[in-house]
Structure 1
Amino acid sequence: MQTGENEQALRKIIDFTRFLSIAVLIIHFYLCCYQAFQVWGLTHPVLNRILWPVAQFKIFDSLLYAKGSAIALLLVSLLGSKGRKDEKITMSEMINFGLTGLFLYAGSNLLLTSLQRSVGTYALYMALTAIGYMMIIRCGSLLFRMLKLNMTGDVFNKYNESFPQEERLLENEYSINLPAAYNFKGKTRKSWINIINPFRGTLVLGTPGAGKSYFVIRHLITQHIKKGFTMLVYDFKYDDLSRIVYNALRRYKHLYPVEPRQYIINLEKVMHRNNPLEPETMTDITDAMDSARTIMLGLNREWIKKTGDFFVESPINFVTALIWFLKKYEGGRYCTLPHTIELAQVDYKFLFALLKKEPEIEVLINPFISAWENEATDQLEGQIASAKISMARLVSPTLYYVLSGSDFSLDINNPQSPKIVCLANNPQKSQIFGAVLSLYVNRINKLVNRKNQQKCSLIFDEFPTIYFNGIDSLIATARSNKVATTLAVQDYSQLKKDYGREQAEVIMNIVGNIISGQVTGDTAKQLSERIGKIVQERQSITINSQDTSVNKSTQLDFAVPASKIAGLSSGEFVGTVADDPDNKIDLKVFHNAIINDHQAIRSEEEKYEAIPSVRQVTEDTLMANYLRIKKEISQIIVTELETNP
Structure 2
Amino acid sequence: MQTGENEQGLRKILDMTRMISIALLLLHIYYYCYAAFKAWDFRLDTTDRLLQNIYRTGLFSNFNKSKLIALGMLIISLIGVRGKRDEKISFKKAFYYIIIGLLLYYFSYTIMLFKVNIFIIAESYITVTALGFIFILTGGSLLSRIINTRLNNGVFNSLNETFPQEERLLHNEYSINLPATYNLKGKLRKSWINIINPFRGLLVMGSPGSGKSYFIIQHIIKQHVQKGFSMFVYDFKYDDLSKITYNQYLKNKKNYKVEPKFYVINFDDLNRSSRCNPLDPSTMNDITDAAESSRTIMLGLNREWIKKSGDFFVESPINFVTALIWFLRKYKNGKYCTLPHVIELAQVSYDKLFSILRAEPQIEVLVNPFVTAYLNEAKEQLEGQIASAKISLSKLSSEKLYYILSGNDFSLDINNPIQPKIVCMGNNPQKTLTYGAVLSLYITAITRVMNKKNCNKSSLIFDEFPTIYFNGMDNLIATARSNKVATTLAVQDASQLKLHYGKEQADVIMNIVGNIISGQVSGETAKQLSEKFGKILQDRQSIAINRTDTSITKSKQLDLAIPINKISSLSSGEFVGMVADNPDEKIELKAFCAEVINDHEGLSKEQERYKELPVISGINTGDVLNNFLQIKKDVEEIIQTEIERMMDTPGLMDLIIRKSA
Instruction: Give TM class, smaller chain.
Output: over 0.9
Distance in 1 separating the partners of 2:265 and 2:40: 111
TM-score (norm 1): 0.96
Deviation larger for 507-516 or 58-67: 58-67
1:412–1:448: 8 Å Cα contact kept in structure 2?
yes
Q: 559, 580, 583: which is aligned to 2:582?
A: 580
Residue 137 of structure 2 is matched in structure 1 by 137
Distance in 1 separating the partners of 2:216 and 2:41: 91
Deviation larger for 207-216 or 439-448: 207-216
* Aligned-residue offset at 1:136: 2.0
Change (3 A) 1:49 1:182: same
Distance in 1 separating the partners of 2:39 and 2:368: 133
Distance in 2 separating the partners of 1:32 and 1:570: 76
Residue 658 of structure 2 is matched in structure 1 by none
Change (3 A) 1:265 1:32: same
Residue 296 of structure 2 is matched in structure 1 by 294
Q: Deviations over 1:486-514 (max 9, x none)?
A: 11111111111111111011101111111
Aligned residue type for 1:189 = R
Residue 317 of structure 2 is matched in structure 1 by 315
Residue 397 of structure 1 is matched in structure 2 by 399
2:461–2:489: 8 Å Cα contact kept in structure 1?
yes
* Aligned-residue offset at 1:528: 1.6
* Aligned-residue offset at 1:81: 0.3
* Aligned-residue offset at 1:105: 2.6
Percent identity at matched positions?
A: 60
Distance in 2 separating the partners of 1:37 and 1:606: 97
Distance in 2 separating the partners of 1:606 and 1:36: 96
Is 1:202 the counterpart of 2:202? The answer is: yes
| 1:109-148 matches, cutoff 5 A | 109-114=109-114, 119-148=119-148
Q: Deviations over 1:102-151 (max 9, x none)?
A: 23333333333456675434433333333232222222222111111212
Residue 446 of structure 1 is matched in structure 2 by 448
Deviation larger for 158-167 or 581-590: 158-167
Residue 431 of structure 1 is matched in structure 2 by 433
Distance in 2 separating the partners of 1:320 and 1:227: 40
Aligned residue type for 1:250 = L
* Aligned-residue offset at 1:38: 4.6
Residue 49 of structure 1 is matched in structure 2 by 49
Aligned residue type for 2:398 = S
2:105–2:133: 8 Å Cα contact kept in structure 1?
yes
Change (3 A) 1:130 1:600: farther
Distance in 2 separating the partners of 1:484 and 1:248: 18
Is 1:614 the counterpart of 2:616? The answer is: yes
Aligned residue type for 1:495 = L
Distance in 2 separating the partners of 1:528 and 1:465: 26
Distance in 1 separating the partners of 2:215 and 2:279: 36
Distance in 1 separating the partners of 2:457 and 2:309: 33
Distance in 2 separating the partners of 1:405 and 1:112: 114
Change (3 A) 1:61 1:384: same
Q: Deviations over 1:396-427 (max 9, x none)?
A: 11111111112111000001111111110122
Change (3 A) 1:627 1:148: same
Distance in 1 separating the partners of 2:607 and 2:39: 94
Q: Deviations over 1:549-580 (max 9, x none)?
A: 22233222221122222222222222211111
Change (3 A) 1:435 1:74: same
Change (3 A) 1:113 1:628: farther
TM-score (norm 2): 0.94
Local SS of the residue matching 2:181:
strand
Change (3 A) 1:613 1:34: farther
Residue 656 of structure 2 is matched in structure 1 by none
Change (3 A) 1:81 1:2: closer
Q: Deviations over 1:451-490 (max 9, x none)?
A: 1100000111111111111101111111110001111111
Deviation larger for 48-57 or 405-414: 48-57
2:114–2:121: 8 Å Cα contact kept in structure 1?
no
* Aligned-residue offset at 1:203: 0.9
Distance in 2 separating the partners of 1:571 and 1:190: 15
Deviation larger for 477-486 or 178-187: 178-187
Residue 71 of structure 2 is matched in structure 1 by 71
Local SS of the residue matching 1:150:
coil
Local SS of the residue matching 2:397:
coil
* Aligned-residue offset at 1:210: 1.7
Q: Deviations over 1:418-441 (max 9, x none)?
A: 111111012221111111111111
Distance in 2 separating the partners of 1:525 and 1:351: 53
Deviation larger for 357-366 or 135-144: 135-144
1:574–1:592: 8 Å Cα contact kept in structure 2?
yes
Q: Which structure 2 segments of 5+ residues have no match? A: 648-661
| 1:254-273 matches, cutoff 5 A | 254-270=254-270, 271-273=273-275
Residue 496 of structure 2 is matched in structure 1 by 494
* Aligned-residue offset at 1:193: 1.3
Q: Deviations over 1:42-78 (max 9, x none)?
A: 4454433333323444343333322222222111111
Deviation larger for 19-28 or 395-404: 19-28
Deviation larger for 312-321 or 265-274: 265-274
Residue 359 of structure 1 is matched in structure 2 by 361
Local SS of the residue matching 1:527:
helix
Change (3 A) 1:467 1:85: same
1:78–1:140: 8 Å Cα contact kept in structure 2?
yes
2:22–2:70: 8 Å Cα contact kept in structure 1?
yes
Residue 307 of structure 2 is matched in structure 1 by 305
Change (3 A) 1:263 1:31: same
Change (3 A) 1:88 1:397: same
Residue 351 of structure 2 is matched in structure 1 by 349
Residue 515 of structure 2 is matched in structure 1 by 513
Residue 94 of structure 1 is matched in structure 2 by 94
Deviation larger for 622-631 or 296-305: 622-631
Residue 372 of structure 2 is matched in structure 1 by 370
Residue 529 of structure 1 is matched in structure 2 by 531
Deviation larger for 91-100 or 346-355: 91-100
Aligned residue type for 1:603 = K
Residue 30 of structure 2 is matched in structure 1 by 30
Deviation larger for 462-471 or 619-628: 619-628
Local SS of the residue matching 1:190:
strand
Local SS of the residue matching 1:506:
helix
Distance in 2 separating the partners of 1:350 and 1:131: 119
Deviation larger for 36-45 or 433-442: 36-45
Q: How many pairs are equivalent?
A: 645
Q: Deviations over 1:581-637 (max 9, x none)?
A: 121122212222222222222222222222222223322222222222122222222
Q: CA RMSD in A?
A: 1.9
Deviation larger for 577-586 or 549-558: 549-558
| 1:377-416 matches, cutoff 5 A | 377-416=379-418
Local SS of the residue matching 2:190:
strand
Local SS of the residue matching 2:425:
strand
Is 1:328 the counterpart of 2:330? The answer is: yes
1:83–1:546: 8 Å Cα contact kept in structure 2?
no
Distance in 2 separating the partners of 1:68 and 1:319: 105
Change (3 A) 1:156 1:56: farther
Residue 476 of structure 2 is matched in structure 1 by 474
1:226–1:255: 8 Å Cα contact kept in structure 2?
yes
Deviation larger for 296-305 or 103-112: 103-112
* Aligned-residue offset at 1:93: 2.0
